[in-house]
Structure 1
Amino acid sequence: MEFDLSWILLGLPLAFILGWLASRLDLRQIRAENRQAPKAYFKGLNFLLNEQQDKAIDAFIEAVQNDPDTTELHFALGNLFRRRGEYNRAVRVHEHLLSRADLSASDRERAQHGLAQDFLKAGLLDRAEEALRRLEGTPYETESRLALLAIYERSRDWPLAADIARRMQTANQGDFSARLAHYLCEQASEKAAHAQLEPAMDLLHEAVAIAPQSIRPRIELAKVLHRLQRSEDAFQSLVTLSRETPQGLPLAAPLLLEVAAASNHTTDAAALLRQHYQQTPSLDLLDALVALGAAPASPQDSEAQADARSWYVQHLSREPSLVAATKWLAGEKLEQEQFHPAVQKALDHASKPLLRYRCAACGFEARTHFWHCPGCQSWDSYPARRVEEL
């Protein structure tokens, strides 16, 4: 059977036409998909700008389905899920990204960072810790270490927190000397609570060496020395505190009275308190002077001012203070004494909020002074002064 060349001549144009039609169909499909994906993306962006997060998520899901290889859409979707509190879905998005073999190194680090944030927001601290540790050596290292510090502070794991603080200090990622001193003080407090006073004292000496301008280490050291029957050393520690960080003396005033009595330094303590009160009046220093029975040393003193309680009157002449007036009135005899209890009760009630301490970072108020704010978790955010004095 002879082969007819006419079929080849007819087949070549037909093949060309079929190929051209197929290419046109592919191009139309690609263009349609490309139009559909941006449309869904911009629709989601519009919803996001209008704070319609539910509709934005639906639009981004549609865009991801049309183009599953687009990493930016996955990141946007994961962030939206986390902002809405749908942490499980956010975790799945970031874990899907991490499972992709074609993901670049920078995107992998970004996905790992997003996963760590998901776990943190969900309160899964153990999984967050693991995810954050994988960010060592990445551009997110500093942020991850700060998050680890927050985790260890929250769980009161002070040795691990101190380790992270030392590493950040060594890497010049900030000055963490004051915070490291607090971690050492926390460890010392735990040891002192279990009567391990010598190890506690070693930790406090280290804290003083690391942050000599910090108030807490010297106060805590004086407490431990006093418990070890070394009241003389405890008194000298508080004298050093008054010289190095005088703003912290009001916090140490009650301890100073106790230590001075045990070490026979009552006169020296009175002179120290009087000197600092004259420089910077304080309600706590005022109460300590009254408790010591130290009468004001002034040439204008009259017999009526010879007792220590006249410090309250002198304080009123320097600063208007409801607290000082209330405390002075408590020991006075009124002309109509039958009304004194009711008046005193009202004044005590009115002055009680003025005796609180207030966090400078978040405004949280408390009756006791905190080194670590229970509201905003800031360190050293409570001034050593009462609300009335701010």
Structure 2
Amino acid sequence: MDFDFTWVLLGFPIAFTLGWLASRLDLRQMRIENRQAPKAYFRGLNFLLNEQQDQAIDAFIEAVQNDPDTSELHFALGNLFRRRGEYERAVRVHEHLMSRGDLTQPERDRAQHALALDFLKAGLLDRAEVALRKLEGTSYEEEARLALLSIYERSRDWAHATEIAGKLDSANHGSFSGRQAHYLCEQAHAASASGDTAQSLETLQQAVSLAPASPRPLLDLAKLQSQLGRHADAFTTLLKLEKNAPQSLPLAAGLLGNIAQQCGQQQQALDLLQASYAAAPSIDLIEAIIKLDTGSAEPRDRYVRHLEREASLVVAAKWIAGERLGDAHQHSLVQRALDKATKPLLRYRCAACGFEATQHFWHCPGCQAWDSYPARRIEEL
């Protein structure tokens, strides 16, 4: 039987027509999906600008479903979850991104950084540390090191904090020698508390060499030397404050006076304190001067001379305390009221957050800032 080529000739146009129709349907569907994805994205962006985060999340989820290969949508969604405090969902989004094989290296680094921030915000410091360590050598290295520094400070891991601060310092990301000196002082305190005074002395001397203009290493070293009975060494250490950090002398005034009496250097210490007081009067300085200079002037006369230079309710209360009023009962009532009024004025105040404390802090308990407490009390600011 002969084959009829007529059907073949008729089949070609039919097949071509069906193929053309199928391609048009695919193109139409693709166009619909491409229109839907940008619409959902821009709708989410609009909600975000209007601070409607719930609606923005729904819109971005829709956009991700329509276009699952777009990494920017995943980043936007993950960041939104983190801002809302939904850290588990943010972690899932960024871990999903990390698992993809089609990400470029910059996108993978960005996802790693976002994942580390998720852990950090969630308070999972151990997982955040691991994630941040993986960013060494990337464009996020500096941010990762700063975040690691914050983690180690919060966990009081001073050894690792010293390591990271050293890397930041050597990479010219600002000066971190002051921070390193504080970390070394913390390590020295821990060594001294455990009975290893030799290690404590060595660490403090290292801190002094690292940051000679920082007052804390000198003060801590002098205190330790005095505790060990090395009063002459302690006195020599405190004398360096005059040259390296003269503004911190009010913090060392009482300690300087005590050590000077122990090693027979009262006159030298008195000359130093009086010179510092002449340049910038201070309550702590005048109290140390009165304690050392017991013969040349009455304490109440020094208080009067201070009041001639500066109005001070604290000093006025000290002067009245030595006055003998006619009625002892009335005197005690007045003195009690003055002492209550002056107590807040004797506090120290953080220059960064305003946190007040009766003692001077090197590391603010309120805002965690370093060296934010002036050496002078509230009344003297």
TM range (shorter): over 0.9
CA distance in 1, matches of 2:294, 2:180: 38
1:43-85 CA distance string (max 9 Å, x none): 1001000000111001101110111111000000011000000
User: 5 Å matches for 1:16-55?
Assistant: 16-55=16-55
CA distance in 2, matches of 1:49, 1:351: 50
1:107-162 CA distance string (max 9 Å, x none): 00000000000011011000000000000000110111111111111111111111
Unaligned runs of 5+ in 2: none
Aligned counterpart in structure 1 of residue 307 of structure 2, from 316, 322, 337: 316
User: 5 Å matches for 1:200-279?
Assistant: 200-279=200-279
Aligned counterpart in structure 1 of residue 353 of structure 2, from 362, 365, 375: 362
Question: How far did residue 317 of structure 1 move?
Answer: 1.0
1:310-332 CA distance string (max 9 Å, x none): 22211111111111111211221
Partner of 2:116: 116
Question: How far did residue 293 of structure 1 move?
Answer: 4.0
- Structure 2 residue matching 1:68: 3-state secondary structure: coil
1:209-241 CA distance string (max 9 Å, x none): 111100001111101111121101101111111
- Structure 2 residue matching 1:309: 3-state secondary structure: helix
CA distance in 2, matches of 1:191, 1:294: 39
- Structure 1 residue matching 2:95: 3-state secondary structure: helix
CA distance in 1, matches of 2:152, 2:264: 42
1:219-265 CA distance string (max 9 Å, x none): 11101111121101101111111222111111111211221111111
Equivalent pair of 1:289/1:308 in contact (CA under 8 Å): no
Partner of 1:299: none
1:175-216 CA distance string (max 9 Å, x none): 111111111111111112223222111111111111110000
CA distance in 2, matches of 1:335, 1:110: 77
- Structure 1 residue matching 2:44: 3-state secondary structure: helix
User: 5 Å matches for 1:290-309?
Assistant: 290-294=290-294, 306-309=297-300
User: Normalized against structure 2, the TM-score is what?
Assistant: 0.97
| Equivalent residues, number | 381
User: 5 Å matches for 1:125-164?
Assistant: 125-164=125-164
Equivalent pair of 1:295/1:309 in contact (CA under 8 Å): no
Equivalent pair of 1:201/1:224 in contact (CA under 8 Å): yes
Equivalent pair of 1:188/1:200 in contact (CA under 8 Å): yes
- Opposite residue 312 of structure 2, the aligned amino acid is S
CA distance in 2, matches of 1:196, 1:313: 47
Tell me whether 1:388 sits opposite 2:379 in the alignment.
yes
Question: How far did residue 289 of structure 1 move?
Answer: 1.6
Partner of 1:351: 342
Question: How far did residue 96 of structure 1 move?
Answer: 0.4
Partner of 2:3: 3
Partner of 2:318: 327
1:346-365 CA distance string (max 9 Å, x none): 21111111111111111111
CA distance in 2, matches of 1:342, 1:285: 28
- Structure 1 residue matching 2:229: 3-state secondary structure: coil
- Structure 1 residue matching 2:299: 3-state secondary structure: coil
Equivalent pair of 1:326/1:348 in contact (CA under 8 Å): yes
Equivalent pair of 1:184/1:204 in contact (CA under 8 Å): yes
RMSD: 1.2
Question: How far did residue 294 of structure 1 move?
Answer: 4.5
Partner of 2:196: 196
